[in-house]
């Protein structure tokens, strides 16, 4: 099976712009989670989607939003970009419903966003 | 809120030796899951090992094992027979059952020297 794919891999934007990142989960996986990784804050959970519904949301401002499509592909959007949004954005997919201990989150390679 | 603390920003080990990475966490829950993830320079996060809090037996995966001390809220990772390919950032993470949000520690950078 192909792994989690994220596009684009690298992105440069300027302050005030908006950006959309895409994540394609492993085939058959229905849950997609997003994380932001920065040197200062480390890895922080953004949100999680299942069956096109947001189930969990981290402590991020409303400029960060996401959605999931019927084929489980997910996008996240950041509006009005700030310098502090520069980060590696990681997407992870999981197969099943229950969130039990054996359910592994498989991570994609990430999208590195630089805001100038 | 649950917090995960990794007190060692960097560790170094010689090839073939054993190293232990520390992790402590703070939670009021009795049922939860703990994980160690590895992030090599490629930035791809890879699950190394997981532990269910209700299990007293420590998890092992080949050269990787954990020392889970529930009362002390400690979850250390032991890497035996270290290999050059083990060099990476290692993150300790916590998750509640039926949720998908992983709480990560700040990470420990492991250097493996020949």
**pLDDT (tens digit per residue) in B41-76:** 988 899 999 999 988 899 999 999 999 999 999 999
pLDDT band at A97 (very low <50, low <70, confident <90, very high): low
**Alpha-carbon A113 to chain mean position:** 12
Q: Is the pLDDT of residue B108 over 70?
A: yes
Can you tell me whether residue A84 is helix, strand or coil?
A: helix
Comparing A49 with A99, the larger pLDDT belongs to A49
> Among all residues of chain A, which has the CA nearest to that of B41?
A109
pLDDT in tens, A12-58: 999 999 999 999 999 989 899 999 999 989 999 999 999 899 988 99
Q: What's the full length of chain A, in residues?
A: 116
For residue B37, the distance in angstroms to the closest alpha carbon of chain A comes to 10
Q: Calculate ∠ Cα A102-A59-B75, nearest 5°.
A: 40
Least confident of A11-25, A51-65, A73-87: A51-65
CA-nearest of A17, A14, A15 to A77 is: A17
Question: If phi over 0 gives left and psi between -120 and 50 gives alpha, with beta otherwise, what is residue B66?
Answer: beta
| pLDDT (mean) for B99-111 | 93
A100 has a pLDDT exceeding 70: no
How many Å lie between the alpha carbon of A45 and the closest alpha carbon of chain B?
Answer: 6
End-to-end CA distance of chain A: 37
Mutate to test the interface with B, among A3, A35, A99, A104 (most CBs of B within 10 A): A99
A48 and chain B: CB distance < 8 Å anywhere?
Answer: yes
Confidence at B13, pLDDT banded by 50, 70, 90: very high
CB B50 to CB A101 under 8 A?
A: yes
pLDDT of residue A101: 60
pLDDT surpassing 80 at residue B2: no
pLDDT of residue A102 exceeding 80: no
Q: Is the pLDDT of residue B9 over 80?
A: yes
Residue with tokens 């966003």, as numbered in its chain = A113
pLDDT of residue B63: 97
Share of chain A above pLDDT 90, in %: 79
**Minimal CA separation from B56 to chain A, in Å:** 15
Q: Which two tokens stand for residue A3?
A: 């792994």
Q: Residues 11 to 40 of A: which have CB under 8 A from any B CB?
A: 31, 33, 35
Asked if residue A1 has pLDDT above 80, the reply is no
pLDDT for position A2: 81
């Amino acid at each position: 099976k192909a792994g989690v794919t994220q596009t684009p891999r690298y992105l440069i934007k300027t302050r005030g712009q908006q950006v959309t990142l895409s994540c394609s989960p492993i085939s058959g996986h229905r849950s997609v989670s997003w994380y932001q990784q920065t040197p200062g804050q480390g890895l922080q959970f953004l949100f999680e989607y299942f069956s096109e519904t947001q189930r969990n949301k981290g402590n991020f401002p409303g400029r960060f939003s996401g959605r999931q499509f019927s084929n489980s592909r997910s996008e996240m959007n950041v509006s009005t970009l700030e310098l502090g949004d520069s980060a590696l954005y990681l997407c992870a997919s999981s197969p099943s419903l229950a969130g039990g201990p054996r359910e592994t989150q498989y991570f994609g390679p990430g999208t590195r966003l630089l805001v100038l | 809120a649950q917090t995960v603390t990794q007190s060692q920003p960097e560790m170094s080990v010689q090839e073939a030796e054993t190293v232990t990475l520390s992790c402590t966490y703070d939670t009021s829950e009795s049922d939860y899951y703990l994980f160690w993830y590895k992030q090599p320079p490629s930035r791809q996060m890879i699950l190394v090992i997981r532990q269910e809090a209700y299990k007293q037996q420590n998890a092992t995966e080949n050269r990787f094992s954990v020392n889970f001390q529930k009362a002390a809220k400690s979850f250390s990772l032991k890497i035996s027979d270290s290999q050059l390919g083990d060099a990476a950032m290692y993150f300790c993470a916590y998750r509640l059952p039926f949720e998908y949000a992983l709480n990560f520690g700040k990470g420990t950078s492991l250097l493996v020297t020949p």
